[in-house]
Amino acid sequence: MPIKINVHQIRENKSGQVAGRFTLRPEELELTSPKGVWHPLTFDFTCTNAGDLYVLEGRLESSTSQQCSRCLAPVEVPLAASVLAQFSPYQHQESEDCCFFRGDELDITEVLRENAILALPVKPLCSPDCKGLCPQCGTDLNQGQCQCKPKAVDPRLAALAKLISK
């Protein structure tokens, strides 16, 4: 089911506004996350008749459960995005920034989906100073030191070691 805003009541009313809130399940926006889980989303919006186009402004909020990109611990990542989009009933105005629509309804599904995905952090962290896992034994270094000797490798030696291992 596409997510739609009906602008019928402001169609003839320049600078007229409709406002509201959607509560959405992630499935409604076809959101998937390979390593995480999406939680329900809310979208608070106003939609304004700006003459020959409609301006949609709103705030999309949600959260996802992800894995810390360093230590793999589960992390709750809050998400928030400011949404700004334009819709035009005139096909010649259609562009990357302006969606064409017919009738009385703006289909905002794709706009919301894109904004939700862009708000996802590329590398979620459980804390900004997460120490991660030991690259040698896999110990979670946030829990304590392991017995591995830190490898302080001279970059020139590293290059050499790479050559030798080939």
Rule CB under 5 A: which residues touch Zn ion? 68, 70-71, 126, 130, 134, 136-137, 139, 146, 148
CB of 21 to Zn ion, least distance (A): 34
> Which of 83, 130 has the CB closer to Zn ion?
130
CB of 46 to Zn ion, least distance (A): 38
> Which of 38, 70 has the CB closer to Zn ion?
70
> Which of 55, 125 has the CB closer to Zn ion?
125
> Which of 86, 139 has the CB closer to Zn ion?
139
Token couple for 138:
């896999």
CB of 150 to Zn ion, least distance (A): 9
CB of 74 to Zn ion, least distance (A): 10
What is the full DSSP assignment across the chain? ---EEE-GGGTTSTT-EEEEEEEE-GGGGT---TT-EE--EEEEEEEEE-SSSEEEEEEEEEEEEEE-TTT--EEEEEEEEEEEEEEESSGGG-BTTEEE--TTEEE-HHHHHHHHHHHS-SS--SSTT---B-TTT--BTTT---SPPP----HHHHHHHHHHH-
